[in-house]
């Protein structure tokens, strides 16, 4: 039988919320004055974290929620917020009875914008309804709209993903050299995901390459050392030439490379010379 909370005048209730980050880390917090275990996750006592009123409607508008709190735990650190470890994380907010463990999830969503204010922060959450705002119809484009090795591309990710180790670090250019990596030029437009080290779990984009080095878009942690392991995914410039010549995958190209552009409409005749 599902329990109806707050049916009595006095109940031993507290709020809880869980964060499932995209790097695989799960964090739990509760407004109770001591840590509580729930669904195998330790929810840390954080009385300073207060969810706003949760309002769920039958309409199509997004059920937005703001969560305010203080940076009172190492689990929510300023550096982690700045590095984007919480961007796009899924969140569950609910109520629990801290005497017997009964609980119910009242809201599910994802973290949108996170802003800092002194020693505190505010996270704006988006409910599952926010997906309805996305346009389901693709727009024409000369380049491929599919993510490389993603849906529509059909190429196997394992074929183009390499486990490597850092062999050289250029701090001035924010670039790296790896042991076990393919030629640097095929890493252009790819990405890197750290497996260990100070930035474990973070994904960085390859913005440029030289003959042997790969330059990343996120500043490297000063504690990074030689021998740190990472996953490197080869890149794709999403052109029909690369899809056909390099990958032999033109049949799955998700674009319209030969569709005339808008410049064709503004052309006008000129006399022959």
**181-185: long-range contacts, CB 8 A cutoff, minimum separation 24:** 181/214, 181/232, 182/232, 182/234, 184/209, 184/210, 184/211, 184/212, 184/213, 184/214, 185/209, 185/211
CB 23 within 8 A of CB 200: yes
Q: Do domains 13-131 and 157-252 have the same CATH topology?
A: yes
pLDDT at 49: 63
Interior angle at CA 194, CA 190 and CA 199, nearest 5: 120
Which tens digit of pLDDT belongs to each residue from 127-181? 777 777 777 777 788 899 999 999 999 999 999 999 999 999 999 999 999 998 8
Question: Max Cα separation, the chain?
Answer: 93
Query: Which has more confidence, 13 or 165?
Result: 165
pLDDT at 91 exceeding the cut of 50: yes
Share of the chain above pLDDT 90, in %: 30
pLDDT of residue 1: 42
Which fold is adopted by the domain 157-252? Answer: Thrombin, subunit H (2.40.10)
Give me the mean pLDDT over the 12-38 stretch: 86
Q: What are phi and psi of 80, to 5 degrees?
A: -65, -40
For residue 266, pLDDT over 60 is answered with yes
Look at domain 13-131 and name its CATH class.
Answer: mainly beta
What pLDDT is attached to residue 229?
95
Domain assignments of the chain as residue spans, ordered by start: 13-131, 157-252
Strand positions, DSSP E, the chain: 13-20, 26-30, 36-38, 41-45, 50-51, 65-70, 90-97, 103-117, 120-127, 161-170, 175-179, 191-194, 203-209, 214-216, 229-233
| pLDDT beyond 50 at 71 | no
Predicted structure pTM score:
0.69
What mean pLDDT, rounded, does the chain reach? 82
Token output for 258: 């030969």
- 232 contacts: CB under 8 Å, gap ≥ 6: 161, 162, 163, 164, 178, 181, 182, 187, 190, 191, 192, 214
* Region at 111 (left for phi over 0; alpha for psi -120 to 50; beta for the rest): beta
Residue 169 falls in which region: left (phi positive, over 0), alpha (psi -120 to 50) or beta: beta
């Amino acid at each position: 039988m599902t329990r109806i909370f707050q049916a009595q005048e006095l109940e031993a209730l507290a709020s809880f919320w869980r964060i499932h980050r995209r790097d695989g880390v799960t964090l739990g917090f509760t407004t109770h004055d001591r840590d509580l275990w729930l669904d195998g996750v330790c929810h840390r006592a954080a009385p300073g974290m207060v969810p706003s009123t949760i309002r769920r409607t039958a309409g199509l508008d997004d059920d937005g929620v703001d969560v305010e709190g203080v940076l009172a735990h190492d689990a929510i650190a300023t550096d982690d917020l700045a590095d984007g470890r919480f961007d796009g994380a899924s969140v569950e907010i609910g109520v629990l009875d801290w005497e017997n463990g009964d609980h119910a999830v009242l809201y599910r969503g994802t973290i949108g914008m996170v802003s800092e204010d002194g020693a505190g922060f505010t996270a704006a959450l988006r409910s599952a309804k926010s997906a309805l705002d996305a346009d389901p119809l693709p727009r024409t484009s000369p380049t491929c709209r599919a993510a490389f090795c993603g849906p529509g591309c059909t190429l196997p990710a394992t074929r183009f993903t390499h486990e490597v180790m850092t062999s050289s670090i250029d701090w001035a250019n924010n670039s790296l050299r790896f042991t076990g990596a393919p030629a640097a030029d095929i890493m252009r437009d790819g990405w890197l995901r750290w497996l260990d080290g100070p930035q474990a779990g973070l994904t960085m984009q390859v913005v440029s390459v030289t003959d042997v080095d790969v330059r990343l878009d996120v500043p490297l942690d000063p504690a990074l050392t030689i021998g740190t392991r990472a996953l490197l995914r080869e890149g794709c410039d999403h052109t029909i030439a690369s899809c056909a010549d390099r990958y032999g995958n033109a049949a799955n190209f998700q674009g319209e490379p030969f569709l005339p552009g808008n410049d064709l409409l503004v052309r006008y005749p000129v006399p022959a010379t």
